Structure 1
């Protein structure tokens, strides 16, 4: 391998095609890698020929080498994946394609990767851009919902972990930079197509996926289009909802309910109750909130396309128009048979088993096995329809002279999302017994004579409502930027290689409409079905017939329900629509202007060449948000103020950064970085709207005056680049984070009238006002990251074609979860240990990979702001096998979650499980051809 000296790289903005890089385009589960796009520091001709020969085979090891080259060339700490690195692994979306990168983990939802965590920090601490544009997704926060993007249209992803001044926003966790392909990345015409079918072991459905790419250049012009479409049918069987509920639910009840709960606790556990209305006491006695047996059927229809038109009369000038469009439609059916132990009509009857030892250090008494007097049994047929349309367009100019470089960008990124939710709810009240059992919980008939079989008594369930909600979100962002760099060769200051400066302006807005309605009868205003119509009056089918795949797998149970298709046809009368509620409307507008100045220095410190990048970024941000404040009408319904109210916020910041690279010896790099960076508050947090909880006497407001969350961070590491394309790396990083957003009491609204459902005045109350605020104090996160990428031929020639790619990240954090009981817990979403291991073998006709990724347990949420709820450690085994049938045709077989790993969780201790979720294996067979 050619010796590399980072200090000797040509200064100025980093070229799109880095030295010694083959640009791959990901298409349909396998990459097209036809030619080498020459970069500024192209290798020797014999190197090009060798790389081209490997590229025709779709070599995974060559893609790893390219990722190593990108890591080595980049300023600061980063890791990259290219198309082959993604494509030859089983994955269902872009999030799953990223999970094997060092320090990157994903959040899973019913077996599907949805959001990306970098270095264990929450997903909303990560900044995401596509083709240098911060990406809209229609979510309520800043995080990007990666499940809306098909990985087949993505060419390359780099996770930048130490920012430069030129970056739009560093992201406290890091920046995920995604790029799509351009026609002049290739030197000849390309046409690639692929097809894949994937089978889920629980739904027993087979889903298709189709992709193609076409690219060509003629003279000074080039064009590229790519397209991918995929369907996914995934079934998840789960027992869940088994969370702690504080005994204030019963002890605080008036009359017989509260008195009986107190008497039963003292009788059956010996725990004396001093004051049953004292929540400091009752919050330390907990019981099961609900036990639910649930079947989810998630059907997705996803498509994405890219287009690029490029004018490039020379290697020094280009004009490019890039487009990325896509659609993501998801329909999720949930069928839920649940027993709500905390029914408002119920109380304790008998405590059969309790636990006062497991959580004794916190003073918590857990009621493990309890009979209740009047449990609320529920049959819920829920339907969630999600439609997301995504658009991104950009026009870029790149020009280079001998000493000057200019690049400019105009862009738009937008998403529109519609969320349509419905819930057909039938309820039966009866005594029951609920308890923890094995890996979840169960509800069985009570010993009382009025107990019943909750799964097989549809005539006992009365219609309560057909509930609907409708939400629409519009998320738009416009951006303009220019970067200018000047190289220098000064005799009096030879170390100065370049100065770069630039400006960027963004205009972002998010608008949200929301409404809800309940149907109680066959026409508007008719509630004749309520408490008269039974579940037996509906068309019922066994749960194994409503969803594909047969019997329920989480437990040995069967029951009958009304399908969502039947519910939509039956209960939505002609002309029904869910009206939007002005009280729930908000709009947020944000404008940000940034200026930066950055310099590159290169010099030798004795025998060691040094490369230093240092700069400063100034950011000025203004926010305007408006919405409506709710009022309660005398009939108990919620109204709203006649005119919107608005509020402004602003902040400005100076963010310094420095990155240093020193080549201690040939192939051994010492890298160091330090910076201050920020992540802006979520749009939902700065939205100036007010929601009311009339029963809790509480208002919750948004806060446009929120400031960003900041991090002062530094990192130091060693990277050993091996002659065979391998890499050994270790780094230590530390982050000091302040301004973390929390919810806090910020005021009181006095003399608010509250009405009963019958229109009578309940009383006049003072309402507490809670808002998201920036918490005082700072928190620290530090960690170690290890990387080993080793072709095993370095050990023995007989191991030609074998290799491993592994990484490990360990965190230690003082970031604490917010438990009102003072229970020390890590910050929700932060996993302390993650690791990935891939073993592979390949030759010119055959390749095989086995990959295992592991994420340690982490706090998923804090129930009632008191009881930490953990997601158990999760490990997944994936396999990929490829066979080249001809030089341009490849057959691939892939498997996801081959060990059929269950997703599980618990509250505070594993002996109190909260969920047991099975999403099954996924096996796919694909064929790809390039011409």
Structure 2
């Protein structure tokens, strides 16, 4: 086979000096001496080896890379992989999007088993995670030895992903030295919270004999985050304004007439709730990973993994806000000045606007547990078996979510959105700072939670027909259980006989014009019994937010792996099929014959066969071509699957609304083709193009069904027909109803490319050999038709969470004692709602650019010091509504974090 060489000049120009060690062209007779590379370069070498040796498209991060970056959690580690973008909560990474496909399209496996973890976020990011997206902020990076992202499918990989399958793996004691002890600690300072937080990680591994070893990792971290900015809770249009400078007749005031523009497509938008937000997050993250590995024979490897993580948090949200979401209030407002840009009132002074202050407090806990027992055994040199049995559970609880709201009428305010998002200025009249202006207007308590559980049993066999062909076959039995709940006060959420007088305090956020706000004193209201769950404060289940989904799946696969020659070119690959069958059940609330609401189950089943083909060709040494084609599915969103099918009868109008327990999975055919050039052990360049033909896209659409087909009890339908005085002979469970629910609407094509480059500047001389770089660029594009409920095209747009461009770049320096690197991770704008609400055309988030710095000094063989800075530029979270006017929806900053630490290894 021919060998591919790169001369120094070509390497310097085409690869920016990626060709380390190629100052002279090597000859076929050269003998290479093996060099063991450690540190950051070692992790890069391991990552490249994994990418190079795989048959499909794979990217990886190994332990040194994770430990040496200033990452708060696993999501922030993963964002450095090509095509991976992250969304943040409270200033740290929470969920990932891969090649434009959001969290619900990605499967996460921990030590080989599918798992799920959910936490609770602010309202701006969706609150309680009731979806399939994995919340990475549950875990610290310290517990894991490597992360592997498989972007193409093979038959042996379980179904469920259209974006990627991400494998998180903990370390194995028999793969380490006889005894390893690592103790690390950091002190982290955030310039916005102005607090110092500790982080501790300990790992000990011991081989007690040649056949048995144990490993224990423990991590603990505190984090205090001040998360502040401003928001509008969307923008709205109302046709009427009370007055302009006291004039109430629009025929007498052109300014008032302009404010009250009555033509539907000319109405002006104003902020619904213009406000300042001051959030304080206090997070404690505790993690434990234990591994016991037994090698009873040379042919057997048995591993028991135990993983535990607890994410404890409190969040205090304090708002100072104006009222613009009430038509009654807005109709009385007297504008004294305003400015319009497009269809947006970007500046307004209202002499008698109403103000409101809120104090909300949440307690949040996620407890994750997973136990897996895996074994591999070689019966002969040609026959092997792999078995895995495991259970994982994630329990998210938000037992306290209480809010106190006080209102001051007629105090006046101004809003000014004429500058950048960070320059928004809101002001209120003097009476807004006088306690006597306020009345208690609301008390809320909304405890809630979400539970996820997986139980897996997998067994497969591998048989080598010869040195070139291996047959694999296996079976998986998987059970997934999900349930979520919420309660609220049984009676109204008003003042409940309490008063605000004497129950406020001054809160100096530093936002706005610098004056301290008057805020309800939450502790005093708690002392008054608002959390007692008794009397006026008794809680009642909220059935709209109580539902469950269960899925039992059995799958079989067969796959042929081959390794042969195409002429003189090595050719390897695999092809095969996976058959799966899923029995699904979901709950909904229905009225029984006694007139009581009861929760009942609705069942549905589906199955499919998914083929996959992956090819890897080396046309010359150090050059790899790849091609993959496969079919895959992603199951419907959990909230869409709930069986809360509400029946409504109004005259001759028979309708069903709610979820859809009969929703089919989204299916896609994926194509990947790539070329990779490996220059040295740590230098490479690759380009991959990809396309996904997405067969369907879940949207809320209309069709016609009978309640009997949908499993809706006859008693529920009869009750509605009776209330509407309809003839039971024509209005019954077998009548045809118009249904408006999530359905499998038309799909579309997603296409793009990934480019990746890494290397060093050794081609410019030995002095530059310690300086290196990593860069990647991903472009993704798709156009999906979003239909209205009648099936007509409403808008053509990208998928939710899809950034058309994601890119990152790292510049590093490393020698035997000192290492430093600076990294940029960038994602472009993306949609959060392709349609929009309140007549706003789409909702979205501006792109982000996060810059981190990391450095370390190896004092001796055992002791290392590190200094890191994350979010150097204090990147904000900037969200907008309406594609045309880009109205501010939410803008927050969380500050820059500086970390100083040390690590001792023995």
Quick check: TM above 0.5? yes
SS of the residue corresponding to residue 874 of structure 2 reads: coil
Shift of 1:244: 2.1
Change (3 A) 1:823 1:46: same
Q: TM-score, normalised by structure 1?
A: 0.82
Distance in 2 of aligned mates of 1:793 and 1:816: 50
Cα deviation code 1:34-63 (max 9, x no counterpart): xxxxxxxxxx9973xx42xx43xxx11111
Give 2:811's match in structure 1, choosing from 839, 864, 869.
839
1:474 matches 2:451: yes
SS of the residue corresponding to residue 436 of structure 2 reads: helix
SS of the residue corresponding to residue 628 of structure 1 reads: strand
1:268 matches 2:257: yes
Aligned to 1:361: none
Q: TM-score, normalised by structure 2?
A: 0.84
Of 654-663 and 452-461, more deviation after overlay is shown by: 452-461
Query: What are the within-5 Å matches in structure 2 for residues 179-218 of structure 1?
Result: 179-218=169-208
Distance in 1 of aligned mates of 2:268 and 2:723: 33
Q: For the Cα contact (< 8 Å) 1:825–1:868, is it kept in 2? A: no
Shift of 1:913: 2.4
Query: What are the within-5 Å matches in structure 2 for residues 268-417 of structure 1?
Result: 268-269=257-258, 273=262, 281=264, 285-348=268-331, 349-350=334-335, 352-353=337-338, 355=340, 358=342, 365-370=343-348, 375-400=353-378, 401-417=380-396
Aligned to 1:438: 419
Shift of 1:669: 0.3
Shift of 1:885: 1.3
Distance in 1 of aligned mates of 2:703 and 2:62: 48
Distance in 2 of aligned mates of 1:199 and 1:223: 35
Gaps of 5+ in 1: 5-43, 254-258, 275-280, 359-364, 446-451, 545-550, 632-638, 755-765
Give 1:152's match in structure 2, choosing from 117, 137, 142.
142
Cα deviation code 1:264-302 (max 9, x no counterpart): 89953298636xxxxxx2696432212110111011011
Aligned to 1:759: none
SS of the residue corresponding to residue 296 of structure 2 reads: strand
Query: What are the within-5 Å matches in structure 2 for residues 57-136 of structure 1?
Result: 59-136=39-116
Change (3 A) 1:320 1:265: farther
Cα deviation code 1:784-835 (max 9, x no counterpart): 1000011221342220211001111011211356789945442221100011
Change (3 A) 1:285 1:927: same
Change (3 A) 1:166 1:290: same
Change (3 A) 1:192 1:453: same
Cα deviation code 1:308-332 (max 9, x no counterpart): 1121023421111111111111111
Aligned to 2:690: 733
Shift of 1:922: 0.3
Shift of 1:204: 0.4
Distance in 1 of aligned mates of 2:576 and 2:456: 22
Of 911-920 and 807-816, more deviation after overlay is shown by: 911-920
Give 2:847's match in structure 1, choosing from 856, 873, 876.
873
Of 710-719 and 912-921, more deviation after overlay is shown by: 912-921
Q: For the Cα contact (< 8 Å) 1:817–1:827, is it kept in 2? A: no
Distance in 2 of aligned mates of 1:609 and 1:800: 32
Aligned to 1:11: none
Change (3 A) 1:573 1:398: closer
Aligned to 2:21: none
Cα deviation code 1:408-464 (max 9, x no counterpart): 11110111111131111112232544442323444445xxxxxx4364133212102
Shift of 1:647: 1.0
Give 2:770's match in structure 1, choosing from 801, 805, 808.
801
Q: For the Cα contact (< 8 Å) 2:63–2:144, is it kept in 1? A: yes
1:711 matches 2:711: no
Change (3 A) 1:856 1:422: same
Shift of 1:771: 2.2
Distance in 1 of aligned mates of 2:519 and 2:618: 67
Distance in 1 of aligned mates of 2:368 and 2:433: 45
Distance in 2 of aligned mates of 1:262 and 1:151: 65
Of 569-578 and 589-598, more deviation after overlay is shown by: 569-578
Of 906-915 and 568-577, more deviation after overlay is shown by: 568-577
Distance in 2 of aligned mates of 1:386 and 1:858: 28
Q: For the Cα contact (< 8 Å) 1:474–1:512, is it kept in 2? A: yes
Of 226-235 and 237-246, more deviation after overlay is shown by: 237-246
SS of the residue corresponding to residue 290 of structure 1 reads: coil
Change (3 A) 1:829 1:182: same
Gaps of 5+ in 2: 5-30, 119-128, 243-247, 706-716, 725-735
Distance in 1 of aligned mates of 2:389 and 2:223: 35
Shift of 1:772: 1.8
Shift of 1:906: 2.5
Distance in 2 of aligned mates of 1:795 and 1:910: 50
Aligned to 2:8: none
Q: For the Cα contact (< 8 Å) 2:649–2:721, is it kept in 1? A: no
Distance in 2 of aligned mates of 1:930 and 1:640: 67
Cα deviation code 1:358-385 (max 9, x no counterpart): 4xxxxxx333344668644210001121
Change (3 A) 1:691 1:467: farther
Change (3 A) 1:478 1:555: farther
Distance in 1 of aligned mates of 2:648 and 2:811: 54
Q: For the Cα contact (< 8 Å) 2:101–2:163, is it kept in 1? A: yes
Change (3 A) 1:752 1:481: same
Aligned to 1:592: 553
Give 1:609's match in structure 2, choosing from 570, 578, 581.
570
Change (3 A) 1:75 1:573: closer
Query: What are the within-5 Å matches in structure 2 for residues 436-515 of structure 1?
Result: 436-440=417-421, 441-444=424-427, 452-453=429-430, 455-489=432-466, 497-515=469-487
Q: For the Cα contact (< 8 Å) 2:549–2:638, is it kept in 1? A: yes
SS of the residue corresponding to residue 447 of structure 2 reads: strand
Shift of 1:863: 3.3
Query: What are the within-5 Å matches in structure 2 for residues 524-539 of structure 1?
Result: 527-529=496-498, 533-534=499-500, 536-539=501-504
1:659 matches 2:614: yes
Distance in 2 of aligned mates of 1:722 and 1:567: 67
Change (3 A) 1:206 1:443: closer
Q: For the Cα contact (< 8 Å) 2:346–2:418, is it kept in 1? A: no
Distance in 2 of aligned mates of 1:483 and 1:144: 27
Aligned to 1:897: 871
Aligned to 2:586: 625
Change (3 A) 1:472 1:901: closer
Give 2:520's match in structure 1, choosing from 550, 562, 574.
562
Query: What are the within-5 Å matches in structure 2 for residues 920-931 of structure 1?
Result: 920-931=895-906
Q: For the Cα contact (< 8 Å) 1:265–1:351, is it kept in 2? A: no
Aligned to 1:784: 753
How many correspondences in the alignment?
819
Distance in 2 of aligned mates of 1:374 and 1:500: 75
Distance in 1 of aligned mates of 2:787 and 2:522: 38
Shift of 1:512: 2.1
Aligned to 1:27: none
Q: For the Cα contact (< 8 Å) 1:266–1:273, is it kept in 2? A: no
1:916 matches 2:899: no
Distance in 2 of aligned mates of 1:615 and 1:261: 73
Aligned to 1:13: none
SS of the residue corresponding to residue 629 of structure 1 reads: strand
Distance in 2 of aligned mates of 1:588 and 1:858: 30
Give 1:246's match in structure 2, choosing from 223, 234, 237.
237
Shift of 1:394: 0.8
Distance in 1 of aligned mates of 2:228 and 2:367: 29
Shift of 1:923: 0.4
Distance in 2 of aligned mates of 1:498 and 1:601: 6
Distance in 2 of aligned mates of 1:187 and 1:903: 44
Distance in 1 of aligned mates of 2:413 and 2:870: 40
Distance in 1 of aligned mates of 2:533 and 2:632: 52
SS of the residue corresponding to residue 163 of structure 1 reads: coil
Distance in 2 of aligned mates of 1:839 and 1:167: 35
Q: For the Cα contact (< 8 Å) 2:503–2:521, is it kept in 1? A: no
SS of the residue corresponding to residue 314 of structure 1 reads: coil
